[in-house]
Amino acid sequence: MRKASKSFLWASMLLMVLSTIALFFYVRWLLEQEVEEELFSAEARIESALSAGQHPSSLAPIIEINEVDELKTPFTKDTVIYDPSQDEMELFRELSTYKRINNKSYKISVRVLVVETNQILWAIILSYIVIIFLVFVFQFYLNKSSNKKIWNPFFHNLEQMKKFSLLSKEPIQLLDSEILEFSELNKEIALLTGKVRDDYENLKQYTEDVSHELQTPLAIIQAKIENIINDQTVTEVQFNQLASIQKDIQRLTQLNKRLALLTKLENHQFTHRANIDITDLIAQIISNFNEISTISLTFEKASNIMANIDPYLAEILCNNIISNAIKHSSHRKPINIEAKDMVLSVYNYGPTPIVNPQYLFTRFYRENKEFKSTGLGLAIVKKICELYGYEITYAYINEHHCFSIDFGSTKSTRKLSS
């Protein structure tokens, strides 16, 4: 609506300027023609009087009749003559003609005051401008008011679409419009949002069902394999094969859980929030890892990091980024974790930088195929950061891979406050 009003404004202004210029020159031409016609009419009457033997008296500076020796070409010009009554110089339009009448040569000069003509011209132009301006203002506000009324249902429906959520089961509230196109758009929006919500519910239910149904057979297979492994009749070759199968089942179980978690994150199913001290959570996770891992983890805390986040997701976020560093730490060198200025940084040793860092947070991407991971750990970390507006970055610094999460970025603050 603003763009339409602005286009109307500029088009009207351009039209007003062009029409004013055209009117100015046209009216001036008409007035000049009128002056010229008056001059020639006066000259014709003087000539007629002279031909009849009557000698009209000169009335300087309006009329001047002088006998001359030779005839010249007639001409018109503008001339300035002093007016003692006004004590100023006045502009006149002068016609000078040469006529031979009754064997005598005359120079006939007729003058008309043009100052009043210019005043009339400017009066017409100013009146035109005022009228056009008033019409323009009236039309502008009338057009604006009319557009506002016409477009009101559209903007209301647009706001409803912005507020549309798949988590809400209430139908989208749309305003009817007398405009046929808007009415058809409302119908399509209602159909589309209904279909999207149904598809979302079906997909959500399917994902939950698949995830739930997979857990039971995987647990049964896991238990049976453990029973077979504990059987003393199992040979060493069979034991190694069953141990490999057991690891694959554990990976499949973990993959199932992580895919379900990613689906829930994408569907924004985590709505609970609490103020979590990330530094305390990191200290607990490091303590747990130090009990089971041969790699040393050190923690340097310059300041506490507080985040408004779901406690379950906060634990997954910190656990995944630390476990990722442990899995990819070369030569079993220690891992350093820092908390400073609302930024959590995890450093692990690596002799070479990552070849394709742009794919780090992509699902199922593994830089080194030797590690049999699910390839979903960093994808989950990235998705959690996107959900809360945190910024996660990767850098290679002094032979160390560094993953940093900024919990206090502007984007994060803006999302949390909303």
CA dist., res. 162 & res. 172, Å (int):
10
Q: According to the model, what pLDDT value does residue 86 have?
A: 57
Mean pLDDT along residues 211-221: 73
CA dist., res. 402 & res. 347, Å (int):
5
Is the pLDDT reported for residue 13 higher than 80? no
Q: According to the model, what pLDDT value does residue 130 have?
A: 80
Is the pLDDT reported for residue 415 higher than 50? no
Q: According to the model, what pLDDT value does residue 399 have?
A: 83
Q: How far is CA 229 from the centre of its chain?
A: 63
Mean pLDDT along residues 235-259: 76
Q: According to the model, what pLDDT value does residue 374 have?
A: 58
Q: According to the model, what pLDDT value does residue 50 have?
A: 64
- CA 208 to each of CA 205, 211, 263: distance values in angstroms, whole numbers, following the listed order: 5, 5, 9
Q: According to the model, what pLDDT value does residue 394 have?
A: 87
Q: According to the model, what pLDDT value does residue 4 have?
A: 54
The pLDDT > 90 percentage for the chain reads 0
Q: According to the model, what pLDDT value does residue 112 have?
A: 75
- Give me the residue spans of the domains in the chain: 2-135, 180-263, 274-417
149: its two tokens: 């009324």
18-75 tens-digit pLDDT: 777 777 777 777 777 766 766 676 666 666 666 766 666 555 557 777 888 888 888 8
Tell me the H-state helices in 231-277. Answer: 236-266
Is the pLDDT reported for residue 244 higher than 70? yes
Do residues 305 and 283 make contact, with C-beta atoms less than 8 angstroms apart?
Answer: no
Amino acid at 330: S
Coil, helix or strand at residue 77: strand
Q: According to the model, what pLDDT value does residue 414 have?
A: 37
71-104 tens-digit pLDDT: 888 888 888 876 655 566 777 778 888 888 888 8
383: its two tokens: 């998705």
DSSP 57: P
- With cut-offs at 50, 70 and 90, classify the pLDDT of residue 216: confident
Mean pLDDT along residues 220-234: 77
- With cut-offs at 50, 70 and 90, classify the pLDDT of residue 412: very low
Q: According to the model, what pLDDT value does residue 417 have?
A: 34
The rounded mean pLDDT for the chain is 76
327-364 tens-digit pLDDT: 877 767 888 898 888 889 999 888 787 777 777 787 77
267 Cβ partners below 8 Å, 6+ apart?
166, 167, 200, 204
Q: Which fold has domain 274-417?
A: Heat Shock Protein 90 (3.30.565)
83: its two tokens: 């007016």
Q: According to the model, what pLDDT value does residue 116 have?
A: 57
The predicted model scores a pTM of: 0.47
Coil, helix or strand at residue 281: helix
Q: According to the model, what pLDDT value does residue 418 have?
A: 34
Mean pLDDT along residues 397-402: 86
Q: According to the model, what pLDDT value does residue 328 have?
A: 77
Amino acid at 111: R
Q: According to the model, what pLDDT value does residue 361 have?
A: 80
Coil, helix or strand at residue 176: coil
292-318 tens-digit pLDDT: 777 888 888 888 888 888 888 888 888
The pLDDT > 70 percentage for the chain reads 77
Mean pLDDT along residues 127-148: 75
